[in-house]
Chain A
Amino acid sequence: MDATTQHEGDAVGTSDALAGILQAKAEHQGCGTSGGSGKASCGSSAGQGDLPTEIWEKVKNHPCYSEEAHHHYARMHVAVAPACNIQCNYCNRKYDCANESRPGVVSEKLTPEQAAKKVLAVASTIPQMTVLGIAGPGDPLANPEKTFKTFELINRTAPDIKLCLSTNGLALPDHVDTIAGFNVDHVTITINMVDPEVGAKIYPWVFWKHKRYTGYEAAKLLTDRQLQGLEMLTERGILCKVNSVMIPGINDNHLVEVNRAVKSRGAFLHNIMPLISSPEHGTVFGLNGQRGPTAQELKALQDSCEGEMNMMRHCRQCRADAVGLLGEDRSAEFTTDKIMAMDVNYDLESRKAYQALVEEERVAKVAAKQEELASLAGEQSDIKLLVAVATKGSGLINEHFGHAKEFQVWELSTAGAKFVGHRRVDLYCQGGYGEEDSLETIIRAINDCHAVFVAKIGGCPKADLIKAGIEPVDGFAHEFIEKSAITWFKDYLAKVKSGEIEHTQRGDAEIRQGALISAA
């Protein structure tokens, strides 16, 4: 497949879709309530910000609920829930490649007992592992016995680990009290629509009370149960994240409505993810050529929903058996054979000591950002631009350009530096991109950025980046991302002001999909 042609072909549909989103955005923000008092800035906040203390305590070391925490804390999923009660057009349960990195895919399923042992083994090896999630590969609540047995075992053996689960919501209202009983304080519901007409294009069927429902009826049942479950959870003080898959032409404009519906029912965080769709996945959308959104379309939709609600921008759409920090996967170190052979010594005290060190690191990072933000106070400019950052974590510019598997994207303005997403640039198995020059791939993935911050970069890629209009910046190696980005941005504004450079808009970028060549 000629990727360039395909990309250009998309551009026509893209502009229409984008116009629709921007229109929806204007309408959405137009009817928003005044002020931002209800909004807690989790998506990009470096610290507690305006979150109430009890909520901050729940999210501060949950990598999926706090953007900032995900640089420091790790999560793991255990694949104890293989069965599902609905069918989605973006999912194909038959496909299982060890190098696949997407939800619904696992290499092996576990019994609750194996899962509990795995959690102990991982928590003893990775002291910053604070969260255990059950996310499938099917639906946790379509396997209630296995899911709750796992929670029970972990509550008993590793009580400091936070429990969470991710569900399609169909069975949720039946299990809310059990969920609350196990002290699960984070639940994610995947809600792709609140209009059954839209839902009928995403879900071919649902199985409920011994019957398979299809079409409008199926989607109506699903949306009613999802929203009821969401209300029941938030009434009980359980934090809810809503995941939505953005499917251009099907629910892209509609997700603004979804955002409104879940916000009004007390959802804490909204995570809009790009559709992963490729013919080799064998999904309905993969086979019928349904495209995913471009980086610009995704960001426009996320921005439009940000009015009063936290948007999650750091999701890596991980596997149902992922282990480690978001963006890395150490599941290969913890296969069932290896775990069963491990002699596990669960040391709560050393875990606490390690996590105390992590907290010190976080405080230092926040202080550095505050210092630099203060120096931006006098600046006035309408310029808003994106920069890419190569990082291994801890909030530092500490990765070589050539080693980066992904780049963080930050939006810079006189309001400061705001994290807005990730771009994968890793190499892929036969997805149509395998033989291409990896540098071209990287440039396509960060083509909407004005600069790329790296710890180090070679002469050749440097020259090619400059030719593509992206400034390589290696002068802030091993320094804090936000502080460095703001310093660079102030300098950029000064150069524009003095006429030394002219500020221009960048184009769109590509969201890469497909399996990793090597498991990260």
Chain B
Amino acid sequence: MALKIVASQCTSCSACEPECPNVAIYEKNGTFVIDPKKCTECLGHYDVPQCAAVCPVDDTCIIDTSYPRYQPPA
């Protein structure tokens, strides 16, 4: 799994972009998006996903269930 940003909720404030330890967040068509291939849900970096912790709008950076859960390297 990875996180995704609900585009209709995103205020495009950019707070999440520099917080991402995987540089997975970028601006696209006026809002921010997460590259699911790079997202590790912050596992191994921080206790909680940083984008969700800094986002000013509740339930905007959420788990994208269409991806399998991220498995940290053994």
Contact = CB atoms under 8 A, between A and B. Distances in A.
A119 to B, nearest CB: 21
A156 interface: no
A210 interface: yes
B23 interface: no
Contact of A93 (B18, B19, B56): B56
B13 interface: yes
Nearest to B45: A210
A469 to B, nearest CB: 46
Contacts, number: 43
Interface stretch (A83-91, A293-301, A475-483): A83-91
B15 A142 contact: yes
A354 to B, nearest CB: 37
A94 B50 CA distance: 20
Contacts of A82: 11-15
Interface string B30-74: 000000000000000011101001101100000000000000000
B55 to A, nearest CB: 9
A152 B2 CA distance: 38
B13 A210 contact: no
A138 B47 CA distance: 25
Given A82-B12, A83-B14, A210 B50 contact: yes
A207 interface: yes
Contacts of B50: 210
Contacts of A210: 19, 46, 50, 53
A500 B64 CA distance: 79
A60 B13 CA distance: 35
A48 B23 CA distance: 52
A467 interface: no
A93 B13 contact: yes
Interface residues of A, number: 16
A94 B60 CA distance: 12
A85 B13 contact: no
Contacts of A142: 15
A207 B54 contact: yes
A506 B12 CA distance: 48
Contacts of A109: 12
A485 B26 CA distance: 58
A138 B14 CA distance: 10
Contacts of B11: 82, 93-94
Contacts of A212: 48, 53-54
A93 B11 CA distance: 7
A217 to B, nearest CB: 14
Residue of B15, B18, B46, B56 most packed against chain A (CB within 10 A): B56
A138 B15 CA distance: 9
A66 B18 CA distance: 37
Contacts of A84: 13, 15, 56
Nearest to A204: B58
A138 B12 CA distance: 11
A347 B1 CA distance: 57
Interface in A199-245: 207, 210-212
Nearest to A136: B13
Residue of B9, B11, B47 most packed against chain A (CB within 10 A): B11
Contacts of B15: 82-85, 138, 142, 207
A211 B47 contact: yes
B53 A207 contact: yes
- Give the 8 A-B residue pairs with the shortest CB-CB distance, closest first: A83-B15, A212-B53, A82-B13, A93-B11, A207-B54, A93-B56, A210-B46, A83-B14
Interface of A: 82-85, 87, 93-94, 109, 137-138, 142-143, 207, 210-212
Given A83-B18, A210-B19, 15 more contacts: A82-B12, A82-B15, A85-B15, A87-B56, A93-B13, A93-B56, A94-B57, A137-B13, A142-B15, A143-B14, A207-B53, A207-B54, A211-B48, A211-B53, A212-B54
9 contacts: A83-B18, A83-B54, A84-B13, A84-B56, A93-B56, A137-B13, A143-B14, A210-B19, A211-B48
